[in-house]
Structure 1
Amino acid sequence: MSDTATSDLAAPVSPATAAPSTVQKLAAEALGTFILVFGVIGTAIFAAGFADGQGGLNVGFLGVALGLGLSVVVAAYAFGPVSGGHFNPAVTLGLAVAGRFAWREVVGYLAAQVAGAIVASTALLGILSLGPVLDLAVFRGASTGYDELSPGGYGLGSAFLVETIATAVFLFVILGVTTAGRSAADFAPLAIGLTLTVLALVAIPVSNASFNPARSIATAIYGGGEALGQLWLSIVAPILGAVIAGLLAQVVFGRLPKPAATS
C-alpha cells in the first residue's frame, strides 16, 4: 500500500481501519473537487450579479467567497479522511514540497482533481443549456485573469501577485492546522474554509480568486479564447505560491512529519 499523507484536513483514520486504496483516494479527490467547483462556480453563475447589480440573487463577492469556503469545508469533512482533502493541484504540490505528501502519488491526484473540476463545470453547462438562455459568457466572467477578466480591471502584475500570495497563505494555514499533535486538527476543515473565504474577499476584485489550477481549467475551457489565453497565470501563480510556502514550512513550523508508511 502506498504512503498515506499526514496532511488530512479532517480527523485521521483510526489505525484499526484499513487504509484507503489508491482508487478510493483518487475518487475522493475527484468528488471533493467536483463539490468545490460546482459550489463556487455555480454560485458565481446563478446567484451573483457583479457589474450592474443584475442577475440571480445578487449575492455579489461575499456570496461567491462563502460559496468557495463552505464548499471546501463540506468536501474536506466528507473526503478528508480518505484522501487528505487536497482538491487543488497547488495544494498537492505544495504539500509534496513540504514533505507532507508522497511524490509518487502527485500525478494521480492532479489528474483526479482536474477531472472532477471539468465534470463540475460541464454539469453547470448542462444546467445552463436546459434553462431559458445559454450564454457561455458567464464562464468567461467566472474565469480567473487580469485586465478584461479582472472584475476590478486590475493588470497582470496585480493578478499574479494576489494569486501567488493568497495561495501561499492558504498552504501555510493548511500546514499549520494539520501539523501532527495539534489539538485543533478536528477543526481543520473549518479553519481552511474560513481562510479561503477571507482570501477570496481580497482577491475576487483583482483576479476572480482561483488559487486552484483545476478550478481555473474547468471554467476556462468554456470561457472562450481570452480565458484560455490567460489560463497560464491561474496555473503558474498558485503553484508558485504553494511551492514557496512548502519550502518555508520547516522554518515556520519546525521539522514537519514525513508521510507514514502503511501496510
Structure 2
Amino acid sequence: MGKGKVYLTGAGPGDPKLITLKGLETIKCAEVLIYDRLVAPDLLEYASPDAELVYAGKLPENHTLRQEEINQLLVLHALQGKTVTRLKGGDPFVFGRGGEEAVVLAEHGIEYEIVPGVTSAVAVPAYAGIPVTYRGVASAFSVIAGFENCDKPGTSIDWARYASPGETLIILMGIGNLPSITGNLMAHGRPADTPAALVRWGTYTHQETLFGTLGDIAGKAAAVQFQNPAVIVVGEVVNLHEKIAWFQKGVPAVQI
C-alpha cells in the first residue's frame, strides 16, 4: 500500500464563504477530515458522506486532542494510503501549528501540501471597519500571540518593540491575558489613550465589537464579560471604524 497525502488547509476567519476554492477542494476530496474548533460547521457539509470526520478542537483550558496526538493521526492515516485534510481556522501557518505538522509529515516521508487561508489577523479587523494599515496613520502592523503569560520570566514578547505609535498591533487569542497585555504595552511607552478594539466572532453574523482605549479596554471587557474567540486591535487605525464600518451596518457595538 502506498502512502497517502495530507493537505494542511486554512478554512479562513469564520464566514464559510471566505474559504479559498483550493481549500474547498481539499474538503471534498478528503477521506479523513481532521478539523478545529473554529472551523465553520457549514464547511463540513462539503465533505464526502464516506469521509471520516475527526474533531480536534482546542480551548485554552481543554484540548480534545493534544498536538502530539493530532500529529500521530495525520501520520497514521497517511501511512494507510488515505487522503487527509487537516482543516484549521484562519491560516495554517499563522499560530495554527501547521509548521509543526508539516515537519512531522516530512520526517515520515509523507507527501503534503499547504493550502493558505485568510487569516483572522487581517480579516476580522476589516469586518469591523478597521484597516490594519492606512497611509499617514499606520505603515506597519504586527501579529502577536496573546495566550502566552506576558508576566512570566523569560517571556518571548519584547513589549518595548511594540510601543511605537505608528504601528498597528493585532493580538490573537489574548482575551484571557488582556489586563497583562495592555499593562505591558503602557509600561513600555504606549500611551493609555491609544485606541483599542476587541472583535468577537469576527466575520460571523453575530460578530460583536467593543471599542475603548489601551487604558480602559480591559475594564470594559470585564464589565461585559467579553470572551474568546476575539481579536485585539491596538492603534490609531481603530478610529477609522466610524467612517469605514460596512459589515452589519446599523448593529451597535457592545455597550456598557
Same fold by TM-score, threshold 0.5 exceeded? no
- What's the TM-score once normalised by structure 1's chain length? 0.24
Q: Indicate the structure with greater strand content.
A: 2
Q: Which has the larger radius of gyration?
A: 2
Q: Indicate the structure with greater helix content.
A: 1
- What's the TM-score once normalised by structure 2's chain length? 0.24
